[in-house]
């Protein structure tokens, strides 16, 4: 008898990667192996949890069957608009999802978790690790760069900010605020500077902009807020097979300073990825030990490439800056 829980925020992607599953706790009372999924919800928001209830033949015949869903701290959440929710014989066929509403922070800005459990006959048959923390506000300055006759790139800043704060970084309890936008014109670069910007290595492209901007705002890379250059041309480089590959952006890991290039993916996804580097996250291919995943092989992780990005791994939540 078991209950499978698939959470919407951190998804069940870890099930695809046998090594990363090591990060997720085991519910010993269940066989076969049951790994405890993770759900993170911002205060006042509601998350959907998909249920897969598998009952024994005895339980199916029990007219008084009751599966009780409850949180270890009931005042923190509501389950289907109640402190505890009961699935009974009369409604079990109609229940495919649970609605989990975040009522209160668990420990304000400190990241901590509680558990939501499902019990039948006094035995735990399902479990979910749940987080809700006060978002940490981080400031980003967008600097639009005019490098040629194409002019400045057009981006809907309101839409981008909404994406970052409702569909991506909010899952890590990070709230982004944009500082006053700036524009810089580098069409007057000399030939050496132009070669670095348009044809140089990844570092050369970034630092030729950074050195120029530093003349306008000294020591900007040492500040707590991020400076993110938005430029209006593509960047292609050779991959290991010698083929051209597009680069959506570059960013210093754990430090201020990045560039967003024109890229085939939506700029909002690419921005979430680059700001993920800013808060200290690596590509899955560069993670260490059992968390290392080959490039393009995650299901939909924001820090990977060539996939539809929409979620994070649990270790990215707890290891961010």
Right CATH number for 2-131 from 3.30.2250, 2.40.10, 1.25.40, 2.60.40? 2.60.40
In angstroms, how far is CA 157 from the centroid of its own chain? 20
What distance in Å separates the CA atoms of residue 285 and residue 17, rounded to the nearest whole number? 13
Q: Which two tokens stand for residue 164?
A: 């970052």
The helix (run of H) or strand (run of E) holding residue 198 is helix 191-199
- CB 207 within 8 Å of CB 311: no
pLDDT for 50-70, tens place per residue? 888 878 888 888 899 999 999
- Contact (Cβ atoms closer than 8 angstroms) between residue 145 and residue 186: yes
Task: Return d(Cα 115, Cα 72) in angstroms, integer.
Answer: 6
Nearest CA to 130 among 68, 87, 79, 94? 79
pLDDT in tens, 250-276: 999 999 999 999 987 789 999 999 999
136-319 CATH fold: Collagenase (Catalytic Domain) (3.40.390)
**Under 8 Å between Cβ of 86 and 66:** yes
For 126-158, what is each residue's pLDDT tens digit? Answer: 999 999 999 999 999 999 999 998 999 999 999
The residue extents of the domains of the chain are 2-131, 136-319
Q: What is the pTM of this model?
A: 0.89
Contact 241, 215 (CB under 8 A): no
Beta bridge partners of residue 99, listed in sequence order: 48
């Amino acid at each position: 008898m078991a209950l499978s829980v698939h959470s919407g925020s951190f998804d069940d992607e870890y099930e695809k990667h046998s090594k990363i599953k090591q990060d997720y706790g085991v519910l010993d009372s269940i066989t076969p192996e049951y790994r405890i999924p993770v759900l993170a919800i911002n205060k006042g928001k509601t998350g959907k949890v998909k249920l897969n209830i598998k009952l024994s033949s005895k339980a199916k015949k029990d007219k008084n069957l009751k599966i009780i869903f409850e949180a270890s701290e009931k005042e923190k959440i509501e389950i289907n608009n109640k402190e505890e929710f009961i699935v009974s014989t009369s409604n079990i066929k109609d229940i495919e999802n649970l609605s989990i509403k975040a009522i209160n922070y668990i420990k304000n800005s400190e990241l901590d978790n509680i558990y939501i459990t499902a019990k039948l006959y006094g035995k735990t048959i399902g479990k979910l690790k749940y987080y809700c923390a006060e978002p940490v506000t981080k400031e980003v300055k967008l600097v639009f760069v005019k490098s040629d006759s194409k002019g400045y790139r057009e981006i809907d800043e309101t839409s981008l900010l909404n994406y970052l704060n409702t569909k991506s970084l909010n899952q890590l309890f990070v709230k982004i605020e944009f500082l006053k936008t700036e524009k810089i014109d580098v069409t007057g670069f000399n030939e050496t500077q132009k070669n670095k910007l348009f044809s140089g290595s990844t570092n050369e492209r970034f630092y030729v902009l950074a050195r120029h901007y530093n003349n306008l705002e000294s020591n900007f890379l040492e500040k707590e807020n991020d400076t993110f250059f938005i430029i209006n041309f593509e960047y292609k480089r050779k991959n290991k097979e010698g083929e051209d590959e597009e680069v959506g952006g570059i960013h210093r890991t754990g430090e201020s300073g990045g560039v967003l290039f024109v890229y085939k993916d939506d700029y909002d996804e690419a921005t979430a990825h680059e700001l993920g580097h800013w808060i200290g996250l690596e590509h899955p291919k560069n993670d260490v030990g059992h968390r290392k995943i080959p490039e393009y092989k995650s299901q939909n992780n924001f820090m990977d490439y060539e996939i539809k990005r929409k979620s994070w791994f649990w270790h990215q939540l707890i290891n961010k800056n």
